[in-house]
Amino acid sequence: MLVRVKKGWELPEAQATPESVFHDRRRLVAAMGIGALFAAAGAGLPGRAHAAAAGAGEDPSAGLYPMKRNLKYTLDRDLTKEELATAYNNYYEFGSQKDIAEEAQSLKIRPWTVRIDGMVEKEMTVDIDALLKRMPLEERLYRLRCVEAWSMAVPWSGFAMKALVDFARPLSSAKYVRMETLADKAVMPGLRQPWYPWPYTEGLTIAEATNELAFMATGLYGKPIPRQNGAPLRLAVPWKYGFKSVKSIVRFNFTDKRPVTFWEQLQKSEYGFWANVNPEVDHPRWSQATEMVLGKPGRVPTLPYNGYGEYVAGLYAGLEKTEGDRLFR
């Protein structure tokens, strides 16, 4: 579904792209200091993360956690502290600032249904808890590299997206899956900003969605996923920039047309459909060569496909000729 919006360069908030968010997050992290960040857990932002964790107690799926860790997916770095990963978020429906954890607690996560429609054998609406019962649940440690050049490493719980695609039974003519976030004006103040093309949407090719790395996250740090991180169902595609990992999904639409996604509608040259991590292709306004690891001093080199090339590089063989740099931004 396309919403008519002004072009990106006409936006009153043209600066309010993820870059400004990045600077906010850096400033906050720097201001709090690496040690002070966790020492200050009783006050300010980290306290909000605790409020979020308490909210998760109402989740009827809480008994499914922690899920058994799949040891295949290892990290080359420490896990990001939970207090940090759950207190600095990008969730524009709740505002373009980092500090949305508290606002996001108004998100009602039950009842929650997911619509599966478009080019499938049979369209359906499925309840999240019924879905959870049918899926092969596990925990995976993944990195997440945001297009804004910060990164984190977290334990997601959930299930391989391939299991969801198999469950959905797309027709062989379906080439893409388009995912849509809930758009609830009653609780999401960001939706009052009409220049954004709500609802937030993202898309993958079927080949990407069925790649073993594509993961549907329902949990984080061995508990149901906090609302600010995309409860009750969000995507985790660690070889792509973080904006592909759409939160609070209510719809999977199978289609033979490449979806034009939320950020692509806003600024196609900066946030394209493919958005595969590549340190050699700069964002038009900043370098992608290095990244700030949340909670760590300094910067580390960014890896092609965020270090997951062995799993996914083959998906793009041959596409370089037609897609070129677009594969990486």
Strand locations in the chain (E): 113-118, 124-127, 138-145, 150-160, 176-181, 201-205, 215-220, 223-224, 234-236, 249-255, 290-293, 300-301
- 265 is a site residue for ligand MTE (CB under 6 A): no
44/115 Cα distance (integer angstroms): 37
Edge-to-edge strands, sheet with 249-255 = 124-127, 113-118, 249-255, 176-181, 201-205
Per-residue contact track with ligand MTE, 18 to 37, x per CB under 6 A?
A: x-------------------
- 151 is a site residue for ligand MTE (CB under 6 A): no
3-class SS of residue 8: helix
- 146 is a site residue for ligand MTE (CB under 6 A): yes
Query: Site for ligand MTE (CB under 6 A): which residue of 140, 227, 247, 283?
Result: 247
DSSP string, 138-207: EEEEEEEE-TTSEEEEEEEEEEEHHHHHHHH-B-TT--EEEEEE---TTT-GGGG-TTS-SSPEEEEEHH
204/210 Cα distance (integer angstroms): 9
Stretch of 8-16, 130-138, 246-254, 303-311 contacting ligand MTE, by CB under 6 A = 246-254
- 302 is a site residue for ligand MTE (CB under 6 A): no
Closer to ligand MTE by Cβ: residue 19 or 129: 19
- 243 is a site residue for ligand MTE (CB under 6 A): yes
What residues between 77 and 96 interact with ligand MTE by CB under 6 A? Answer: 89-93
Stretch of 23-31, 57-65, 169-177, 239-247 contacting ligand MTE, by CB under 6 A = 239-247
Stretch of 42-50, 113-121, 238-246, 275-283 contacting ligand MTE, by CB under 6 A = 238-246
Closer to ligand MTE by Cβ: residue 119 or 159: 159
- 306 is a site residue for ligand MTE (CB under 6 A): no
Stretch of 6-14, 50-58, 120-128, 242-250 contacting ligand MTE, by CB under 6 A = 242-250
At position 187, the amino acid (one-letter code) is: V
Pick the closest to residue 233 from 59, 75, 18, 45 (CA basis): 59
Contacts to ligand MTE by CB under 6 A: 18, 89-93, 146, 181, 200, 229, 242-243, 245-248
